């Protein structure tokens, strides 16, 4: 495959390159792409250095696959131009996620929706990915009625600038160009992305709308609160679920233990539960603190953690490419 990574010099783009290497995706020609200010810099892939090129030059090369992580405006401006060349675009931004004719895919959950005709495929929001990985098997058995989720999200979800702000503050340095309007070290900021007319943030509404699209069920009622906290390694989520059907907690644990890509960490005697430091650099979604919500009928509480740069972004994107290759939809 001729593979382009658009946004190759960013945090997520760098992780996409790492995941392509680790999973040994068949790359015959590697094309790192970034903004004009990065053109000419070099990016390493499988022991070799490659010159970063501009996006127009990359389109002219007509890669088989282009994995985008360069922001929504870039995706909107260039994804269709790549697709017109026959390139399969896997986009990590929010630009195409809610378009009616664009598939929004988590391979373990709804990979069957991909067809040979799909030239632009959307990668869901990082917080949505890890949540639906756990919700999907439960919905299939117990029918989810309502979800209340609060997220505790890593600064890596914002990017290198936010990581630098956190580490500078930790070292007593006040940034002249902070990523956040407030100090993030020793703090929690209950705003991720911009506020919308309904007083929810864009991040919160992404989780609401994307979950319904991925699970193919608009009846699910979901409300979200997204919070940025001073950690690295992964996003955490407190998830409260109300089912239509009754359940046993032991059955829920067994069901999740059998779910591809999900690892149950739920041993209270040994104080084993998911944490960002345990999820860091891993591709699985971790779930624990599994317990009945005794305040309502058919209620369940969960704690879900995943590395937002990997399964929440890079790994899921590469898995989409792998699935298309397996189905015979990618031909070099």
In the chain, how long is the greatest CA-to-CA distance?
Answer: 60
Dihedral sign of CA atoms 229, 126, 284, 303 in order: positive
Q: Dihedral, CA atoms, 97, 100, 101, 106, nearest 10 degrees?
A: 40
Helix, strand and coil percent figures for the chain, each rounded to 5: 35, 25, 40
Q: Which of 99, 117, 216, 235 is catalytic?
A: 235
- Judge whether 126 counts as a catalytic residue: yes
Q: How many angstroms separate the CA atoms of 165 and 274, rounded? A: 26
SS3 (DSSP) at 120 = strand
CA angle 301, 319, 274 (to 5 degrees): 30
Q: What are phi and psi of 131, to 5 degrees?
A: -70, -45
Q: Which of 99, 117, 126, 280 is catalytic?
A: 126
Catalytically active residues, by annotation: 126, 235
């Amino acid at each position: 495959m001729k593979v382009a990574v658009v946004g190759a010099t960013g945090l997520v783009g760098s992780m996409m390159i790492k995941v392509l290497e680790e999973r040994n995706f068949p790359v015959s020609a590697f094309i790192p792409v970034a903004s004009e200010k990065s053109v000419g810099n070099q990016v390493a892939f499988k022991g070799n250095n490659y010159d970063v090129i501009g996006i127009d030059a990359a389109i002219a090369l007509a890669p088989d696959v282009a994995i985008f992580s360069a922001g929504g405006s870039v995706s909107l401006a260039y994804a269709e131009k790549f697709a017109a060349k026959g390139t399969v675009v896997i986009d990590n931004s929010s630009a195409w996620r809610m378009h009616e004719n664009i598939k929004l895919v988590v391979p373990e959950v709804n990979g069957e929706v991909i067809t040979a005709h799909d030239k632009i495929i959307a990668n869901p929001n990082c917080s949505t990915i890890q949540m639906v990985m756990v919700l999907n098997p439960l919905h299939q058995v117990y029918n989810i009625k309502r979800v209340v989720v609060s997220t505790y999200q890593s600064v890596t979800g914002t990017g290198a600038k936010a990581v630098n702000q956190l580490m500078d503050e930790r070292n007593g340095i006040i940034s002249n160009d902070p990523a956040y309007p407030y100090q993030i070290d020793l703090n929690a900021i209950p705003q991720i992305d911009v506020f919308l007319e309904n007083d929810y943030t864009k991040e919160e509404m992404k989780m609401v709308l994307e979950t319904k699209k991925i699970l193919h069920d608009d009846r699910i009622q979901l409300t979200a609160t997204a919070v940025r906290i001073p950690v690295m390694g992964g996003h955490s989520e407190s998830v409260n679920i109300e089912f239509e059907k009754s359940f046993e907690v032991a059955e829920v644990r067994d069901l999740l233990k059998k779910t591809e890509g999900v690892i149950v960490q739920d041993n209270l005697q040994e104080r084993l539960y998911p944490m960002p430091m345990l999820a860091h650099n891993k591709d699985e979604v971790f779930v624990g603190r599994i317990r009945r919500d005794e305040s309502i009928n058919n209620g369940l509480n969960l704690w879900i953690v995943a590395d937002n740069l990997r399964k929440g972004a890079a790994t899921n994107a590469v898995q989409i490419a792998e699935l298309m290759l397996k189905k015979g939809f990618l031909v070099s």
